[in-house]
Structure 1
Amino acid sequence: MDTLVRAFSAPAFRELGYWLFRYRRTWRGSIVISVVNPLLFLAALGLGLGTLVDRDGGAYLRGDSYLEFLLPGLLVAAVMQTTFLEAAGPVMQGVLARGNYRAAASTPLSPADILHGHLMYWTLRAVMNATLFTLVSMLFGAVEASRIPLLVPVAVLVAVAFATPAAAWSVTMTRPSQINSMFRFAILPLYMFSGTFFPIEQLPSWLWPVAWATPLWHGVDLGRTVALGTATPLGTLAHLGYLVAMAVAGLLLARRNYRRRLHV
């Protein structure tokens, strides 16, 4: 409880204010991307490719249209990908000699304040992206309006679950190539093979346990069952437990790593 209280301390909000001030210069472009991306993906995949999938039966979709199947996974995966990029590159740059983290650490802000303020910013960005994505999806009839209040928190939880370990790792990095390698060899495979675009049952059977163990699959499956109304209490608890544990473990590790790198 004490850690939670400190996470919302006044110094942490000052750090949040810094990132919001920076965001004032780019918010228009980011909102356009948040609207255009789902429009393009849902039109090309949900309506274009989906027409072929639905026509051929789509037995793996259990009676749902491909558009309805695609939307929750695409939402969760897109928010995850965006959050990783925002929690990796800026953090690594922030701890360099002239980075903003170094400047903040020379003030009364503690390393934990810097982390918590930046985490609040990532969370707000995830809320905005997830909300815009689902609102655009309503134009396609891909999700019921009544399910948006449940679907958006799922996407935000996934974002936090990836943001904290990403920050814990990237605060120790020194080269952009390390971030690029992580994105290329970890984030993109997760994006492609965690049930986002097709059921994992279509993968070779020996890969099923690997997919089930990935954090993005838990987020995708939780979002999909919520959106389609097929969620079960046991399955929901398992997904939530996995994602919350990942977020908390990442936060604790990030607090330690921030303290080691930013202690002055």
Structure 2
Amino acid sequence: MASVEVTARPAGRAPGRLPGVLIVIEHYWTWYRRNWRATVVSSVLQPLLFLLAFGVGFGALIDGTGHGATATGGVDYLVWLAPALLAMSAVQTAAFESTYPVLSGFKWQRVYHAMAATPLTGAQIATGHLGWIGAKMFASGAIYVAVIAVFGGVRSAGIVASLLVATLAGLAMASLVMAFAATVQNEGTAFSALFRFVVIPMTLFSGTFFPIDRLPTIVVPIAWISPLWHATELARAAALDAWRPAAAAGHLAYLLALLTVGTLLVTRRFARRLAP
């Protein structure tokens, strides 16, 4: 089991809200720079394999004219798919990072309890961990963008905005899942259901690999509530320079609303569970 490292100010002097959050982020960075190899497969290699399999491999079968080109707006499937995979990778990473690692912080390694023994508050611990997840998603996404550029999947500088959208979507997902994980008292059996009935269907039916208008009519409204669909639409519009201001504002507002609600929930639940 990895050793627990906590960086905090001496007891008796509580850090300000932002300095406390940065202390928590520093703790995770200290751990990550020594153990990054353990997470490189899930955070970097997995989305690249999706890109090669679907964008380069499967995409070669549907590029050109016909229904495939109509569905993608006339652009190559690789270019159309790349920003969606960026968003999908962020959301999947967020879901994983917000389940068992959070439960471990409360139950197994008890890192959160060690932090709470210092002047850090539960809200600072929650926000710091959430901030770290966001920083990690952004860094992994930046590497992914560099690779898709090599394969010809970048059409414009708008892909940078796609990276920011993907990070926002990941943070929204992470905040909600962290809030749920903070209530789990058992060994995390509920997480299997979360991945099976929420994360995987969301990955498949949020417009990542094909437009949602290809879905049965009864299923489309379900896709509308998915944060991944809103992120995919927004990231794709940015990458393809196909902005529609009203639609973009709606997608952005939805993701920000989810992040706001999730942040309020997770800070309160961390504070409640870590209360002395």
Q: Which residue of 1 aligns with 2:18?
A: 9
Contact 2:106 2:113 in 1 (8 A): yes
For residues 201 and 63 of structure 2, the distance between their equivalents in structure 1, rounded to whole angstroms, comes to: 25
Q: Which residue of 1 is the match for residue 96 of structure 2?
A: 85
In the aligned structure 2, how far is the partner of 1:39 from the partner of 1:162?
A: 21
* Cα distance in 2 between the residues matched to 1:47 and 1:19: 35
Amino acid at match of 1:45: F
1:81-110 deviations in Å (ceiling 9; x for gaps): 011111221111111165111111122111
Greater displacement, 166-175 / 23-32? 23-32
Q: What is the CA–CA distance in structure 2 between the aligned matches of 1:244 and 1:62, rounded to whole Å?
A: 27
Aligned equivalent of 1:49: 58
Matched residue of 1:26: which SS? helix
1:56-77 alpha-carbon deviations (Å, 9 max, x no partner): 6212222121111111111101
Contact 2:43 2:93 in 1 (8 A): no
Shift in alpha-carbon separation, 1:131–1:256, aligned structure 2, 3 A = same
Alpha carbons of structure 1 residues 148 and 60: separation in structure 2 relative to 1, 3 Å: closer
- CA shift in 2, pair 1:7/1:254, >3 Å: farther
Look up the equivalent residue of 2:160 and give its one-letter code.
Answer: P
| 1:163 shift after superposition | 1.1
**Cα drift, residue 229 of structure 1:** 1.0
> How far off its partner does 1:145 sit?
5.1
> 2:158 pairs with 147, 151, 160, which one?
147
1:123 deviation in Å?
1.2
Contact 2:127/2:263 (CA < 8 Å) preserved in 1? no
Shift of 1:180: 1.8
- Partner in structure 2 of residue 194 of structure 1: 206
Q: Show the 5 A alignment for 1:51-200.
A: 51-54=60-63, 57=66, 58=68, 59-96=70-107, 98-144=109-155, 146-174=157-185, 175-200=187-212
Cα 1:8–1:137 shift into 2, 3 Å: farther
Percent sequence identity over aligned pairs: 37
**8 Å contact kept, 1:96–1:102:** no
**Equivalent-residue separation in structure 2 for 1:149 and 1:98 (angstroms):** 37
Structure with greater helix share of residues: 1
Query: CA, structure 1 residues 104+96, in 2 after alignment: closer, same or farther (shift >3 Å)?
Result: same
Structure 2 residue 244 is the aligned partner of structure 1 residue 235: no
- Displacement after TM superposition at 1:40 (Å): 2.4
Q: Is the 8 A contact 1:138 1:145 kept in 2?
A: no
Picking from 12, 21, 27, the partner of 1:18 is 27
Deviations 1:224-250 (A, max 9, x none): 111111111101100000000000000
Q: By how many angstroms is 1:261 displaced?
A: 0.6
Is 228-237 or 39-48 further displaced after alignment?
39-48
What is the CA–CA distance in structure 1 between the aligned matches of 2:44 and 2:96, rounded to whole Å?
18
Whichever residue aligns with residue 188 of structure 2, its letter is P
Secondary structure of 2:99's match? helix
2:51 and 2:25 map into 1 onto residues whose CA distance is: 33
Which amino acid is the alignment partner of residue 184 of structure 1? R
The answer to whether structure 1 residue 226 and structure 2 residue 235 are counterparts is no
Change over 3 Å in CA distance of 1:247–1:53 after alignment to 2: same
Q: Given residue 116 of structure 1, which amino acid in structure 2 is its aligned partner?
A: T
Query: Hey, what does 1:204 align to over in structure 2?
Result: 216
Distance 1:148 1:55 in 2: 23
Contact 2:156 2:240 in 1 (8 A): no
TM-score (norm 1): 0.92
Q: Residues 185, 32 of structure 1: CA spacing in aligned structure 2 closer, same or farther, 3 A cutoff?
A: closer
The reply on whether 1:263 has 2:241 as its aligned counterpart is no
Cα distance, 1:32 vs structure 2: 6.1
Structure 1 segments unaligned to the other structure (5+ residues): 1-5
